[in-house]
Chains A and B, each alone.
Chain A
Amino acid sequence: MKKTTTLVLSALAAILVGCGKAPEAKKLSVFCWSEYIPQSVIEQFTKETGIQVSVENYASNEEMLAKLTAGGGEYDIIQPSEYVVEALIAQKLLHPIDKTKIPNLSNIAPQFLKMSFDPDNSFSVPFMAGTVGIVVNTDLIKDDIKSFADVFKPDNKGKIVVLDDAREITAWALLSQELPINDISDANLDKVKPVLANWIPLVKVFDSDSPKTALLNGDVAMGVVWGGEGAILLQSNPKFRWIIPAEGTHLFIDSLAMPKTAKNVENAEAFMNFILRPDVSKKISDAFPYTNPNLAARKLLSEEQLNNKASFPSDADIAKMQVFRDIGTQGSKIDEIVTSLKAQ
């Protein structure tokens, strides 16, 4: 009896193992931001193409860079922001894209194509864009907030959440001094240090992952957060107001790209084309309301979604925004300045 059971069990196990193993070519390894590609979209891709997708997440561009350059994992798709695309292209770490495999690239608005970081889109296709702006809980704050300078006032001490990102905070300080956000020279850092020294002690919470939490829970009254987070706040309660800082702000463009070491290039290109399909891109916008660069997908969005200023800033606002360029090892200096001011 016992023998039969064992036999049956091992036979079952063999069948299960046999089933679970997909053929070598039907695989795709995606290394993407957390909270950016909905699980349902990944599942739909697998259902339509039979390609098994394994997903790994990261919380910052640099975390992705560290894992990618350390050769820890074999990824077919990565999701770098504009300045990282630039650095990866310069270091010849990206695999060129066969654009004939991605006809849906034509859905993308021209203003998000042929950007300075990848002039021919030879290595990257836009996934989502977005901005950083101010969100204010008007139940708690009656002042008219227009700029970074209005946010970082002594009266607002202990009421502010900001992104836990030294480069971002420094960029806002540079903007407030009318300095270019990509010129991280020592001279410019000396100029913004006193500004940061005034700002950082006013902050109650540093959070890049989910800055909306502190705002929703009422722990803070205003914040400088990602557009997507702002859009969710605006949807959740009319008491939240979105403001594009008068000084200008940061426009980011997150792309899909393939590392040089990608094993499943064709699957990766199929995935890119799938993501750029209007109905799929709409699903991503529904879940994570960033600035969708996909014009065909925008047609499928509701009036309410399109009118959300945190998702879709006006063209005049976008014209005032700047993208990040790679600053290399100067990043350490920014990090040190911000950490030292936090530790005081």
Chain B
Amino acid sequence: MSLIAAVSGVHDSGGYRRPPNLVAWLVLMPLLAWLFLFVIVPTVMLVVVSFAERDALGRIVYDFTLQNYIRAFDWLWLKVLLSSLWYALLTTLICMFVGYPVAYTIGRAPLHWRGLLLMLVMVPFWTSFLIRTYAWITILSKDGLLNSLLVSAGIFSHSAEILYTPFAIVLGLVYNFLPFMILPIYTSVEKLDNALIEAAYDLGAGPVRAFSQVIIPLTRPGIAAGAMLVFVPSIAMFAITTLMGGGTNPTIGEVIFKQFTSGRNQPFGAALGSILLLIFVLALWITRKYREED
């Protein structure tokens, strides 16, 4: 709405005329074009395809059908969706508990240290996440680095099964998405007003109370942003879950990927994708509603 208001120049105040709206449009043009090309067009395509059929080669046939949605509401696919939601939730919670102290420490560190610490958080982004995931396979496999270390140190009597387990999936997800939790929380922590925390102590709050009633509420926007940035992509992530989980626990991302490739069933994949999109929109809408009421 504010976008439209800005462009149409409703707040035309006083006697002097604002410059023509054309300039505002021109400035906004790249953004609008980007939104149209990469958000609106693909979404519309996805929804249209989800109501279509396909032929033996997997080519899309534009005959209207609800079959894809009827099939999508089978318990099988819902079960896959629920398990993906569960992994995403677990990942988000762990990222929160691990990421918060890290972000807090960086945000409160002396100024000249912060740049270096932040860089360390971002260093992994310099390599492709696939390469980093393969590195984890080398570390976690039965004859891998971790197991040989633990066995030769006498901590384990024989190699433990770490790779290709649900634990490995969550580890891979947490490892990959942790920076997305740390960075938004860090921005909130950095803006924390020290005076407020001192005031809490002066008024008799202990460290626990100061943390839970002052620091947490003040950094809540960072936590919420981080949670969204971790939760949403980890639902649909399939590369990490197949590589580190051994492909034994199908996730919704993997199922959709397979519809577009080996399943030769793009309309069904599109239907599953549309449902996932709807869930995201609903989740965003509910959190927003909740925040407004707050």
A residues in contact (CB < 8 Å) with B: 59-63, 65-66, 69, 87-88, 91, 158, 164-167, 203-207, 213-214, 217-219, 326, 328-329, 331-332, 335-336, 339-340, 342-343
- Contact among A166, A217, A326, A339 for B137, CB-based, below 8 A: A217
CB distance from B139 to the nearest CB of A (A): 11
- Contact among B56, B142, B255, B266 for A339, CB-based, below 8 A: B255
Please tell me which stretch of B6-14, B97-105, B198-206, B245-253 contacts chain A, meaning at least 4 of its Cβ atoms lie within 8 angstroms of it.
Answer: B245-253
A219, B163: Cβ atoms closer than 8 Å = yes
Given A331-B262, A331-B264, A335-B263, verify A66-B58 contact (CB < 8 Å). yes
A206, B57: Cβ atoms closer than 8 Å = no
- Is the CB of B83 closer than 8 A to any CB of chain A? yes
A336, B76: Cβ atoms closer than 8 Å = yes
CB distance from B78 to the nearest CB of A (A): 10
Given A218-B141, A342-B250, verify A331-B263 contact (CB < 8 Å). yes
**Chain A residues with CB below 8 A from B263, complex form:** 62, 331-332, 335
- Contact among B57, B242, B261 for A87, CB-based, below 8 A: B57
CB distance from B269 to the nearest CB of A (A): 10
Q: What are the 7 tightest A-B residue pairs by CB atom distance, in nearest-first order?
A: A328-B56, A206-B247, A217-B141, A205-B246, A218-B143, A218-B142, A63-B261
Given A206-B247, A339-B76, verify A332-B268 contact (CB < 8 Å). yes
- Contact among A164, A204, A218, A328 for B159, CB-based, below 8 A: A218
B residues in contact (CB < 8 Å) with A: 54-59, 76, 79-80, 83, 137-138, 141-144, 159, 161, 163-164, 242, 246-250, 255, 258-266, 268
Closest to A68 in B: B57
B142, A217: Cβ atoms closer than 8 Å = yes
**Chain A residues with CB below 8 A from B266, complex form:** 66
Report the Cα distance A63→B261, complex, angstroms: 4
Report the Cα distance A165→B83, complex, angstroms: 22
CB distance from B258 to the nearest CB of A (A): 6
Taking A205-B248, A340-B76 as known contacts, 11 extra A-B pairs with beta carbons closer than 8 A to each other, sorted by chain A number, are: A62-B263, A63-B262, A203-B248, A205-B164, A205-B246, A217-B163, A219-B164, A329-B55, A329-B265, A332-B268, A335-B265
A332, B265: Cβ atoms closer than 8 Å = yes
Given A91-B57, A343-B76, A343-B79, verify A164-B261 contact (CB < 8 Å). no
A329, B54: Cβ atoms closer than 8 Å = yes
B159, A66: Cβ atoms closer than 8 Å = no
**Chain A residues with CB below 8 A from B55, complex form:** 329
CB distance from B61 to the nearest CB of A (A): 11
> Which label, helix, strand, loop or mixed, suits the secondary structure of the B interface?
loop
Closest to B53 in A: A329
Report the Cα distance A206→B250, complex, angstroms: 11
29 A-B residue pairs with Cβ-Cβ distance under 8 Å, sorted by A, are A62-B261, A62-B264, A63-B261, A65-B57, A66-B260, A66-B266, A158-B161, A165-B262, A167-B262, A205-B164, A207-B246, A214-B141, A217-B137, A217-B138, A217-B142, A217-B143, A217-B163, A218-B159, A219-B142, A219-B163, A328-B56, A328-B57, A329-B56, A331-B262, A332-B264, A335-B262, A339-B80, A339-B250, A342-B250
Closest to B54 in A: A329
Report the Cα distance A332→B83, complex, angstroms: 22
Report the Cα distance A214→B143, complex, angstroms: 10
Report the Cα distance A218→B143, complex, angstroms: 6
**Chain B residues with CB below 8 A from A219, complex form:** 141-142, 161, 163-164
**Chain A residues with CB below 8 A from B59, complex form:** 69
**Chain B residues with CB below 8 A from A63, complex form:** 261-262
Closest to A87 in B: B57
Given A217-B141, A339-B80, verify A60-B262 contact (CB < 8 Å). yes
Report the Cα distance A111→B247, complex, angstroms: 36
Among the interface residues A203, A207, A328, A339, which one has the most CB atoms of the partner chain B within 10 A? A339
A329, B141: Cβ atoms closer than 8 Å = no
CB distance from A74 to the nearest CB of B (A): 17
Closest to A59 in B: B261
**Chain A residues with CB below 8 A from B137, complex form:** 213, 217
**Chain B residues with CB below 8 A from A326, complex form:** 56
**Chain A residues with CB below 8 A from B161, complex form:** 158, 219
Closest to A205 in B: B246
Report the Cα distance A66→B55, complex, angstroms: 12
CB distance from B235 to the nearest CB of A (A): 16
**Chain A residues with CB below 8 A from B57, complex form:** 65, 69, 87-88, 91, 328
